[in-house]
Amino acid sequence: MDGYEFFIDPSRCIGCRSCVAACAECDTHRGVSMIHVDYLDRANSIATTPMVCMHCVEPTCALVCPADAIKQGEDGIVRSALKPRCIACSNCVLACPFGVPTVHAGPELMMKCDMCYDRTSAGLRPMCATVCPSQALTFRPADAVARERRAVPTRDFKFGAQHVKTKVFMMAPAGRTIAVDVEDYMEKGPDGSEGWIGGEAGVV
Amino acid sequence: MDPKDGSAAKPAWSEEFSVYAAEDAYVQRRQFTKFLVLTSFGMVAGQAWIWMKALTAAAPAAWPEIVVARASEVAVGSVRFFTYPTPAEPCILIRRTNGEFTAFSQKCTHLSCAVYYAPARDRLECPCHEGYFSPVTGRVLQGPPPRPLPRVELQRRGDDIVAVRLVEGAEA
């Protein structure tokens, strides 16, 4: 699927969780969904956003893996952990800046979104992108998305000192072509501490 | 960690255990050559070791003489099992359908399965890979065995059948 790119647009997400259900239907990991639908600000809004693996150019999860179990293919897709190698240490879970990998205690295995490798490598679109009714998850050629949408795709993220470039695009509101700096969305905690994200109901 | 910072030194392990599948599978010419040289050296050393072992292993000075069976107790077409020259080496004594006695090591020369005598077809058969041997000379009749079965030389002393020597079969 040359020229096809994955786009996440949080502003389009209606929180229907079709993607979560569709992901769990997949034969390669039946019953386990690799997608998180997150509430952005649970206390004040019903806004949600789907989170799939961003497939970092320099994948932090793979860099911290002590068992050499996570590999990035030549297509730039960061695969799920290799079953014979993964030791379920949760290093990747803690390291991933986007909070994507999950460790499953039963099979002692990290499982994460691999952009439906079985489908995309065979010319099919990822399952979540095919079912998303509002196309918050889109798998289309980049020029088609640029033509039809006002939001601007970005794939540069800053997490403090760490600069992460990803394969998957996040749609930012039009006119904001800057890299997404997570610190811009952080607030000071009630005690003045940095790095406070959002807040519990009634606290901020 | 910062891709823009080219000066950041990569740790040594990142080359050995790259996170990129293509880099991980890549074998340098030098690595491959090293592997070839070391493996070849190992093979040569192994061959030399086998050769030395064969040179130094002396044949037993005198073969033991062991009474294997009483001729009158072995029916025509039947066999007796015995060990010769040591208790760890199983052999088979055959009374062929024409009444002659012959004896062979029971270990197939292919992969050391135990051969048995098939009286109906008058031959020694290995059940593992269907290697057949002649019950007269031990010669390979068919199948994968590379050498004839080692033959046990027998002597008749009255009613006793005595094993006196083990004759290695020549290369086929």
User: pLDDT category, A190, cuts 50, 70, 90?
Assistant: low
- Interval A147-163 mean pLDDT: 87
pLDDT for res A186: 67
pLDDT, tens digit, 9 for 90 and up, residues B104-153? 999 999 999 999 999 888 899 999 999 999 999 999 999 999 999 999 99
Contacts of B22 in chain A (CB under 8 A): 73-74
Residue B46 lies in a domain: yes
Residue A26 forms part of a structural domain: no
Chain A interface, mutation test: which of B14, B16, B19, most A Cβ atoms within 10 Å? B19
Q: Is B21 on the interface with A (CB under 8 A)?
A: yes
User: Higher model confidence: residue A183 or residue B167?
Assistant: B167
As a whole number, mean pLDDT of residues A67-81 equals 92
The answer to whether residues A167 and A142 touch, using CB atoms and an 8 Å cutoff, is no
Q: Tell me the CA distances in angstroms from B152 to B99, B141, B161, one per residue in order.
A: 17, 19, 11
With CA atoms as reference, report the closest residue to A164 among A100, A88, A80. A100
| Assigned token pair, A51 | 């989170």
Shared-domain flag, residues B45 and B79: no
Total domain count for chain B?
2
Whether residue A201 is predicted with pLDDT greater than 50 in this model: the reply is no
pLDDT of residue B3: 46
Task: State how far the Cα of A26 lies from the Cα of B169, in Å rounded to an integer.
Answer: 63
A125: confidence class by pLDDT, cuts 50, 70, 90: very high
* Domains of chain A: total: 1
Report the CATH number at residue A82. 3.30.70.20
B107 vs B88: CA distance, rounded Å: 11
Cβ within 8 Å, pair A57-B24: no
pLDDT (0 to 100) of residue A107: 87
Interface pTM (ipTM) of the complex? 0.72
Query: Are B128 and B103 found together in one domain?
Result: yes
Q: Are B100 and B145 in the same domain?
A: yes
Which helix (H) or strand (E) segment holds residue A140: the answer is strand A137-141
CATH code: domain of residue B134: 2.102.10.10
Question: Residue A147 domain-assigned?
Answer: no
Q: Is B13 on the interface with A (CB under 8 A)?
A: no
Residues spanned by the domain of B141: 66-167
Low-confidence ranges of chain B (pLDDT < 70): 1-8, 58-60, 170-172
What's the mean pLDDT when you consider all of chain A? Answer: 86
- Verify that B36 and B106 share a domain, yes or no: no
DSSP secondary structure string for all residues of B35-71: HHHHHHHHHHHHHHHHHHHHHH-PPPSS---EEEEEG
Task: Say whether both B109 and B159 belong to one domain.
Answer: yes
What lies within 8 Å, CB to CB, of A100 at 6+ separation is A36, A51, A52, A53, A54, A61, A112, A113
Strand order, beta sheet including B131-133: B116-118, B123-126, B131-133, B140-142
Kindly state the helix (H) or strand (E) to which residue A167 belongs, with its residue range: strand A162-172
pLDDT band at A177 (very low <50, low <70, confident <90, very high): low
Cα–Cα separations (whole angstroms), residue A124 to A2, A56, A114, A131, A140: 11, 22, 14, 13, 11
DSSP character for A178? Answer: S
Q: Are A132 and A171 in contact (CB under 8 A)?
A: no
- pLDDT-above-90 percentage for chain A: 57
The verdict on residue B5 lying in a domain is no
Rounded to the nearest angstrom, the minimum Cα separation between B20 and chain A is 5
Give one DSSP letter per residue of A23-72, joined into a string: HHT-GGGTT----EEEESSTTT---EEEE----BSS-HHHHH-TT----B
Neighbouring C-beta atoms of residue B68, cutoff 10 Å: 21
- Give pLDDT, residue A188: 64
- Closest CA–CA distance from residue B118 to any residue of chain A (Å): 49
pLDDT category of residue A192 using cuts at 50, 70 and 90: low
Work out the average pLDDT over A123-147: 93
- Nearest by CB: A72 against B3, B4, B20: B20
Q: Are residues B52 and B72 in the same domain?
A: no
**Is A88 inside a domain boundary?**
yes
Residue A174 reports pLDDT greater than 90: no
From CA B34, how far away is CA A177, in angstroms rounded? Answer: 51
The Cα–Cα gap between A90 and A54 comes to: 18
B51 and B117 belong to one structural domain: no
**Residue A45 and residue A3: Cα distance in Å, rounded?**
35
Domain that holds residue A86: 58-112
Looking at residue B80, what is its pLDDT?
92
Q: Is residue B139 part of a domain?
A: yes
